[in-house]
Structure 1
Amino acid sequence: MDGNFILITVLVATMLGMAIIAFAGPSPEKARKRRVAMIRGRHSDSAEALLEARMRKAISNRSTGAEAKMLVSLIPNPENLTKRIRMTGKKWTLSQYMTASAGIFLVLSAFLMVRGFPFLMAVMVGMAAALFLPHWWVSRLIKQRINRFNAKFPDALELLTRGLRSGLPIAETLGIVSSEIPGPVGEEFKLITERIKIGKTMEQALQETADRLGTPEFQFFVITLAIQRETGGNLAETLSNLATVLRQRAQMKLKIRAMSSESKASAYIIGCLPFLVFFMICYINFNYMSPFFTPDPAGIFGLSLMQVIGIGGMCWMAIGAFIMAQMVNFEI
């Protein structure tokens, strides 16, 4: 039997096993029994039953760490990765993230080896894709969610202003915003109201959301409320002015993006075209590009002349891409 076929079979079986481990949840019968026990303990008058219900809830909310331990243990800083995943608004876990990375690595490595690429190169390309693609996708989801939040946040401030002018307290207006504004704004304000209900102060609830979002717009809102609670004043008028400022910031960002779109498109095309052509030639005729991957013991540090030229070209392209990125990056 062909060795490549055996290798691909093992890689596919490993990927399917990890996917089953990561995405498999508890059985419906166990979930039903757990919910019944929690409801029974919550409505019991016994102090022991109440304590047991609280402990069960704390254990259920705690991450078990039993899901794909081997994959999760490879993460150098799981706290930061968990925070990034939460910023996407998705209910993903670290095990699912690492399973997706492992699946990309296995599929791409197997595909490249079938196409005749060297084993070491196929593994290195697969590892690079497994590290880069999930990180890029999470960053893209975070950016999209923050943009949708910033687009609706001035509307939330206007709604807060109208509620305060009608005589409602700030805590109740936060609840109205959570139910009336759709999307990430409503979700974040709902989390704020839930934290306030369980005993946290408003400043703590707002600061936790500000730390998770990491946007200057929401940080302005938190600072405005903190200053108003210390010094007093017309909060409705302050929030109305803040909404106007945030709308003007959004308009300025759109204007800058429109003015720099041509430069960004040129940078993307110039930066991606050499790599696309290189990989297309490797895919069509790898033997033609094989001298590029062949070391030369008599060369510089064991590298051939083609490899030295390629590394130098990538360094100059990286410098040019950095300069172009700084030219179109404006702080507002």
Structure 2
Amino acid sequence: MASLPTVVALLVLVLLGALGALGAILYRLLYGSRARLRRRVQQVVGGRTGPRGIMQPRRRTLQRLKSTDEGQRWAFDLRAQLRQAGLRMEVRHFMGICAGLATTTWLVAWMVSAPTLVQPIAAAIIGFGLPKMVVGMRAKRRIGRFTAVFSDALDIVVRGMRSGLPLGECINIIGHEMPDPLGAEFRLIAEGQKLGLSLQESLERAVERTPTPDFRYFAIVLAIQKQTGGNLAETLAKLSDLLRQRKRMRDKIKAYSSEATASAGIIGSLPIVVGLLLTLVARDYVAILFTTDTGHLLVAVGLLLMGCGVMVMRKMINFDF
């Protein structure tokens, strides 16, 4: 009968081989030449290919919600969040990565003889909670970079139209002159028009990828101007001034709430700091929490309550503006 170290070594080798094969498959799916071409076309036409997908007008949001089961809507929400984060992967690829991380975490926790209660919790947090948090942070940071320079993009449109350039050419200039992610979104709008989409359809897809209030205002202004006519340059100039005023208000709110944010950070980190200090000065006093089943339960309950408290404090100091 093989010894325990040999069995563990074989399990590690099998796990590494499986992860390597999964990584190779995901690499081909995500970065192969055909995958890149298909992904590029899907970004522009909103997930449909072929003449019908490109040319047919769609009222996608309402029809999709009517025809989709409740159990499948999470996939659409996750796909939208992946697009907002600028990640070029499908939902199934993301879930495969999460499942691989969860399995690896569970096996590592089992090999180091972690408590039975801790193993599934750690697998769920690291395998599914951590990737979701990373995607959310990337999406928030990307949308922040988009909003920071959007007023400058509107000024380019205003100056271009006042000098006689058509709107499509102004959008093309923004796509090539402005930094990403704003430049990338406007390049997709221009490419969508080249493939036969109307400006309104291209803007609808862009708003789904970057759902900021400023971008929605821009799309609404263009839609109304197309129906009613009028001086688009003056309207966009007023919109640009309004967006700058909103940005100044956001910065002022952040400055006023910085003290509350710092206080929440100190209060949230206090239990962890105290626990580390107690571990350094009285290791035997704290060791009971990690060597007995009752201690494990108390640690789990404490972490759960602490997480709830952190979420409540985040909700209190985050302002929607």
Q: Specify which of 108, 111, 116 is matched with residue 105 of structure 2.
A: 108
Q: Larger C-alpha radius of gyration, 1 or 2?
A: 1
Residue matched to 2:194: 197
Query: How far apart, CA to CA, are the structure 1 residues paired with 2:299 and 2:176?
Result: 59
Which amino acid in the other structure matches residue 201 of structure 1? S
2:15 counterpart of 1:18: no
Query: How far apart, CA to CA, are the structure 1 residues paired with 2:113 and 2:312?
Result: 37
2:179 counterpart of 1:182: yes
Residue matched to 1:266: 263
Tell me the TM-score normalised to structure 2 length: 0.73
C-alpha displacement at 1:291, in angstroms?
6.2
Contact 2:261 2:317 in 1 (8 A): yes
Residue matched to 1:79: 76
C-alpha displacement at 1:261, in angstroms?
2.3
Q: Specify which of 136, 139, 143 is matched with residue 139 of structure 1.
A: 136
Tell me the TM-score normalised to structure 1 length: 0.71
Q: Unaligned regions of 5+ residues in structure 2, if any?
A: 38-49, 55-71
C-alpha displacement at 1:188, in angstroms?
0.8
Distance 1:16 1:307, change over 3 A: same
Larger CA deviation: 191-200 vs 6-15: 6-15
C-alpha displacement at 1:130, in angstroms?
0.6
C-alpha displacement at 1:166, in angstroms?
0.6
C-alpha displacement at 1:15, in angstroms?
2.1
Query: How far apart, CA to CA, are the structure 2 residues paired with 1:26 and 1:327?
Result: 39
Residue matched to 1:330: 319
Residue matched to 1:228: 225
Query: How far apart, CA to CA, are the structure 1 residues paired with 2:105 and 2:259?
Result: 33
Q: Which runs of 4+ in 1 moved over 6 A?
A: 276-281, 284-287
Q: Percent identity?
A: 34
Q: Unaligned regions of 5+ residues in structure 1, if any?
A: 36-53, 59-74, 295-303
Which amino acid in the other structure matches residue 288 of structure 1? I
Q: Deviations over 1:22-54 (max 9, x none)?
A: 2235999x97xxx9xxxxxxxxxxxxxxxxxx6
Contact 1:15 1:103 in 2 (8 A): yes
Q: Deviations over 1:66-116 (max 9, x none)?
A: xxxxxxxxx984333222222222323445423432343244334333433
Aligned residues: 282
Query: How far apart, CA to CA, are the structure 1 residues paired with 2:287 and 2:312?
Result: 35
**Residue aligned with 2:319, SS:** coil
Q: Specify which of 287, 300, 311 is matched with residue 301 of structure 2.
A: 311
Query: How far apart, CA to CA, are the structure 2 residues paired with 1:76 and 1:17?
Result: 30
